[in-house]
């Protein structure tokens, strides 16, 4: 988990009732949202590896993260751990694209999500990306780590980003929510657009169910 204080409603990866399987959460000290989203410092990987190793030693069968931008280090993080490491909802892109689906990504900050993030999870580097409006209440809450969340604004921002993306890329049939704080609005997005919507919750539910034993 990133070191954050912003609210985490049901559906957010940090809410205790989002998943129906057992979850242990640990905070990586110093891993702020701004540092992870807007930076590319490889020294940030080791603190995540250290915390993940502690969780594995406690018996955890798989590891995830609370920021989709850690897709940038998917290969390196996985190589350091003896259990599956699922860094980001973006891991679903390659699977869906292999099935012939036309995917688009909604992210908290489009200016910071680049080719390196997509290539690190095996996705098409030309996958279209649309961000939440810079300076919006949701953008400020998550990137500035504010202690308040306007859920009406958050949902409106997600729907608006999807509308902009579909206007640019009308052939899209699958939306992937990069940000682990956006799943609370996934149901509203499915109703609004009628498309397949994937996020970190769909990723972890599917992959945990597929683990042996």
Domain annotation covers residue 95:
yes
Domain annotation covers residue 104:
yes
CA distances from 79 to 33, 51, 64, 200 (A): 24, 15, 14, 21
On whether the CB atoms of residues 49 and 73 are closer than 8 A, the answer is no
pLDDT of residue 49: 98
CA distances from 128 to 53, 86, 133, 182 (A): 34, 22, 16, 18
Domain annotation covers residue 158:
yes
SS3 157: helix
Instruction: Report phi then psi at 196, rounded to 5.
Output: -70, 130
Domain annotation covers residue 8:
no
CATH code, domain with 184: 3.40.50.1860
Q: What is the per-residue pLDDT across 46-59, written as a single tens digit (0 to 9) for each? A: 999 999 999 999 99
Domain total in the chain: 1
| Parent domain of 108 | 91-199
Q: Specify the DSSP element, H or E, that contains 122.
A: none
Give pLDDT < 50 ranges for the chain. Answer: none
- Mean pLDDT over each residue of the chain, to the nearest integer: 97
pLDDT of residue 26: 97
Domain annotation covers residue 123:
yes
Q: What is d(CA 87, CA 69) in angstroms, rounded to the nearest whole number? A: 8
Domain annotation covers residue 15:
no
Domain annotation covers residue 177:
yes
pLDDT of residue 40: 85
Q: What is d(CA 77, CA 81) in angstroms, rounded to the nearest whole number? A: 7
pLDDT of residue 147: 98
Domain annotation covers residue 133:
yes
Give 153: exposed, middle or buried? Use CB within 10 Å, 0-12, 13-18, 19+.
middle
Q: What is d(CA 183, CA 107) in angstroms, rounded to the nearest whole number? A: 12
pLDDT of residue 213: 75
């Amino acid at each position: 988990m990133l070191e954050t204080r912003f609210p985490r409603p049901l559906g957010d990866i940090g809410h205790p009732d989002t998943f129906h399987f057992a979850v242990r959460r640990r905070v990586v000290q110093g891993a702020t949202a701004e540092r992870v989203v807007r930076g590319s410092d490889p020294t940030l990987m080791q603190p995540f590896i250290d915390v993940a190793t502690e969780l594995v030693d406690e018996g955890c069968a798989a590891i995830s993260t609370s920021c989709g931008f850690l897709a940038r280090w998917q290969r390196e993080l996985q190589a350091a751990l003896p259990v599956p490491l699922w860094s980001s909802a973006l891991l679903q892109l390659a699977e869906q694209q292999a099935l012939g689906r036309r995917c688009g990504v909604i992210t908290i900050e489009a200016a910071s999500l680049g080719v390196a993030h997509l290539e690190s999870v095996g996705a098409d580097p030309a996958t279209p990306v649309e961000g939440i409006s810079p300076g919006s209440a949701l953008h400020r809450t998550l990137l500035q780590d504010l202690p308040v969340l306007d859920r009406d604004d958050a949902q409106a921002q997600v729907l608006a980003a999807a509308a902009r993306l579909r206007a640019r890329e009308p052939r899209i049939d699958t939306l992937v929510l990069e940000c682990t704080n956006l799943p609370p609005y996934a149901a509203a997005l499915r109703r609004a657009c009628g498309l397949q919507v994937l996020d970190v919750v769909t990723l972890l539910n599917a992959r945990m169910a597929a683990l042996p034993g």
